Structure 1
């Protein structure tokens, strides 16, 4: 059985996007801007703050650290939920892409729909993080940038994964990605 090269590329890229989202999820979204001044903490993740980015333990939860910043806390909650949804969507698109390789051509449209949903959900995640980085909620809540942080590895992994998903969406729209059916 000969496999379609664009479909093989789709599956490989989708797997890479899935790994990047899954790897970015627990990683630091914001990292201390200066090694000499570690900010109050080394990293801010979607779930909490860590003294060092390599640590697996959270020293302070997001809910406690931003308890006076309602809008920021709501953005974190939205990012947390949609990041989880994105992991499942990207995983499902990868698994269905594998099945698509074996000639189930109707799954092409399901994969396309999953990729579009993945683009939307991950866009909201990284856009919410970018808003937190650049915008103040109120006078008592400074921007994450003003707190001495810069974007971290988790944010970059989300952004790269999002770009890969956009590429994959266009690949599914190519006519050469339709698997040959047996007659």
Structure 2
């Protein structure tokens, strides 16, 4: 009887340990999106926003439709139809690795490329001794998901879902007085 009790207790402890380990592993693997803004100079400030991507999905679901519709309205105000944007994207996507835009001057450099599964935007603006840099990496599958909406609607939910499989930097902006970084990882 004591042997059975000890065996049952050992099994219970093992089950608790394994379930705790599995829960901890699952929590570690949940994607989080991070936004860090660092301002220097007279009003030096640092802002960090860290939220699970699942929270971003819930927040998006909670937004009134008129707010999410404003994004589409901005395209329409500029005369851009999502159907045309989808066609343009299909051609860009099918072109494979390529340099789409390259602008070089004494004061600035702009490049838009596709490298592997990323659309990369690189901007360098040289002002005297200071250099401002913008680095944006947009996964191809995120753009696919975003443009998978019906009619004149973007599919923000699908784009967030695709971002959940991504790890690493998405946006980096650096100038003489500030730095902005947006990235996704599995930690809070």
TM-score, L = length of structure 1 = 0.26
TM-score, L = length of structure 2 = 0.26
Quick one: higher RCO (CA 8 Å, sep 6+), 1 or 2? 1
Structure richer in helix, relative to its length: 1
Structure exhibiting the larger radius of gyration computed from Cα positions: 2
